[in-house]
Structure 1
Amino acid sequence: MPIVLFFLLLLSLQIVYLPGFSTQGEKVSNPHQTVIAGGSSSNPPYEFLDENVEPQGYNVELIRALAREMGLSVDIKLANPDKNLKLLRQREISILEGVSEVYARKHDLFFYPHTEIHQNIFAKTGDNYPVNSLEGLKGKKILVTKGGVTDKYLELNEFKANVTLVNTRAEALSKLALNDYDYAVFANISTRDLERQLMFLEKLYGRSMVVPAGEIFPPLQYGFAALKENTELSRKLVEGIKSLHTRGVDSEIYAKWLGPYSSDEKVNTRIEVGRLILSTLLLLICTVTFWNRSLQKEVDKRTKELERQQQQLIQVDKLASLGTLVSGVAHEINNPTGLILYNLSVLERIYQTAESTLEERYKDEGDFSIGGLRYSMLREESGEVFTEIKMGASRIKQIVDDLKGFAKKGDDELTEKVFLNHVLFAAVRLIEGSLKKRNCEVKISCADNIPAFMGSSRRIEQVIINLIINACEARDDKSQTIYARTYYSQKNNEVVLEVEDHGVGIPADQLDSLLDPFYTTKRNEGGTGLGLSISATIISEHRGKIKFDSKVGEGTKVSVSLPALAGE
């Protein structure tokens, strides 16, 4: 009940105190009085033609609201700025929308602002020194959009500098990032629009290459223009914009197209009702404090979820990119490696055949040179040389084979009815010899009557082998046992495999990197860092999940969950 009374009080205060509240509703347009407005046809989100060739954008919606406020109908014609100015001079259009104060002053037009333009300065990452005036740009190579607000501003101020004109802001940012320029300068009234361009540039080149370096002060005014002699229209223009300001219509349109409104001018126009707004806001804050706390908790929860999903998308993107690269180069690496291994065995046989002859000469003549090396050294180290070459080439072949496995998209059709217990026992049998060499005991615990899942038993077998071998190699005491268990999660309708060791464990700051290609803690022991990446790809193909739980000094548990078949 108190909340209802509060809102009734708020409504009555607005009706009594806000200027013109009861009379400033949307006016009915007079069909006999039409305002023709001109703007740019290709300046989104400010003015543009949509897929139906209809004018849309921030300036378009604002001029329509303004026409309604003035009690007029409006016809909007979008073209290039030079043509619009010509039509205005010929009185074929009445108002120019989306005009800067610099442009209006240059062409001697009546001008009334509704927001501000910020002339932003950008530099390459690492070279961004604060610049807040034209003086800071003197002697520099700068990029400016042709015919834009900044271009006109520099022309009006007779600014002498090494200026290169480009067609769009995106082109200016790209040239700045990739070529020998010091700064890019252009005007924005939308922070959101600017952020989109910087994000696009970062996505295009894979990293942040351009950063804000400052802003030319003071900001310029941005609004509508008309002929000075059209005094009646100018008067209505001023009254209409003030009315839109008072009722907050302009800020709603601004937020819709350009994001949150931040101009100091908007604050100044609210001073006349400041005390009323402040008192009502204080009461409103008291009633919604509890709501805010609840919403904040929900926002935090959603934010964490979005961050987790974003990391998953980044991981998928990295895997896809590397897979594309690998598929193109693995074959080119494997062929010469095969030739090295084949020819090495031939050279080794040749050397063994010639070794008796070389030994006889060594006994008869003493030490001699062969291939730039003393034979006395060669006869002692030849076996080690051949072994090292063979091991190096075999190592290359192993890495290429792992790369090909990583890049493989999974030619097996995932249409097989797979039982996790059967695959686990088969995988352990396959690596039984390797486990004995490692003195590694694996204890298996399988739940009965686990339902099947749809997939490829061969591919899942590959994952299990990888996880068990990793667990064996993580032991710091060779007497430690590896535990593998399966069970069915009825709550999630998933079959689950857990592989647990009590080895050295993994630091928390490394857990997020485990699935990254080429990430390994066993580089000196021959690890390629592709095993878990390949396993993660296989699990993803089966619409499953892989999870790591590890503590340093206590060990690691890996859980693989796969969706069970319904009705099993």
Structure 2
Amino acid sequence: MKCQTLSKALLFVTLLLLSLLCAAQDIGRGKGVVLIGGDHNYPPYEFINKQGRPDGYNTEVTLAIAEVMGMEVAIQLDAWDTVRRQLEAGELDALQGIIASPERDAKLDFSPPHAMVHQSIFGRESSGAIFRISQLNGKEVIVQRGGIMHDFLLESGVEASLILVDTHVEALRLLSSGKHDYALVANLPGLYLGREFSLSNIEVKGNIIGALPYGYAVAEGRAELLSQFSEGLAILINTGRHQQIYDKWFGSLENPSVPWKRVGLMTLLVSLVLLVLLGGIGIWNRMLKREVKRRSEELEVQQQQLIQADKMKTLGVLVSGMAHEINNPTSQLLLNLPMLKEAYQDISPILAQQFAEHGNFDIAGLPYSRLSEELPLMLDDMALAAQRIKTIVDDLRDFARQEPGAQGEAGYEEDVALNKVVETAIRLVENQLRSSTRHFNVDYGYNLPTVKGHYQRIEQVIVNLIVNACQALTSVDQSIRVRTFHDQSSVFLVVEDEGCGIAEEHLSLLSDPFFTTKREQGGTGLGLSISVGILKAHGGSLSFESTPGKGAKATMTLPIQQDEPIA
């Protein structure tokens, strides 16, 4: 009896120690945060995007499972061979995408698959087709280090020279550059990367391995964690959310068969639409009368706009001529004033000696004792004034110049990342921001698509909007917030301030040339009109909202290039 009691006590102590050890491990990992690993360059399944964040099909599935299961997860992407070893060493809790195999099953436990992955043999256009694994004998085959195809080739006994790389993109780039014979990579990532990097000289040469199950994996003994992933995946599949994520990332890469059910449904819908149209002819006739009236009113407005446009065109011609005429004498001033200042500095010792020996004397009707202090300041003020004239003339000339890009101006075909332009603009106005407010915040939009445009001109617009926000503040305790985001067709920049705001009657005049409420501070009224012209040339727009006394909001809109995928 004593032995049994002692055994039970030892068993209880052992279980208690194991519980404490598990709890300590959980605390060490961040209060229940599940650390999930994956490949950093395996698109479209998983990869690090341009903003430096985990992205892709696997990542979205993981985040969706975490949401429905109430889990807190952290996703860590690295080289595949690295994360695989980290999982086996217990440094990671799970991998979000790995192909199950009997060999891997000895060390890992697998969830039901959330995808089936096909493996393909890629080759250059001149390479022969591959129908059997034995055809790779004597060939140089590129394969991902530690990947399922690396394991397969080692176990198959094929007499090929294996070229190991860390990522699929390295394998395809090597092959495309003319090096080695074939690359053995997953089919969809191969197609995705070939399209992404325009590797047009490589193609699929064979599919010698069927579809393989692809899902979550944990170290042996983590059954409870694995069940959470399995249950969450089942919920996503039953609610249709998994299919939505899958279609988003793979719909454009796969070639589905003809959806006859959808065709039949569309035929039925078209028939219903035709019936509705036939029954609505009477309503349409009445609407036509209203439309004619509306169009007449629009034509009248457009006529007024044409008159205004003609005035602006004439103004542009006048401004261009004035800018040329003013720039010539201004350039002379900017050239000669430094020489005058240098000349005065050279003769100052002589004048000072004369003053010391003979006392005060007059120059241009002013005593030397006064002129010696004021003349350098006068020359500096003249130089600043001349430079101010040149700046205003340059702004006038930019305003009058033909819209950039109207005739295919070079530079409007570059891909522009809006977040990067915002970062540069903020650096340019950092001193003014620091002196204007203690509360400046920036929210960069996630996975922002690029736009076609001119980097420096878009930067000019952003700088102008931020400077205007700084000038609107009346206290350093008021804030400025800059944020970027996007929808399916456009990217947006919003600059909000808590300054004095804009009077309602002034909102419609902000983009008019020469309109300014800061005339006494040296404003010319050209900044916003030039900004509007730049955005129009990019197919974009600029709008304003304000509550006087509470602040203002400026929204810049730029269209997304049509071939840019939206995540």
Q: Same fold (TM over 0.5)?
A: no
**TM score, norm. by length of structure 1:** 0.44
**TM score, norm. by length of structure 2:** 0.44
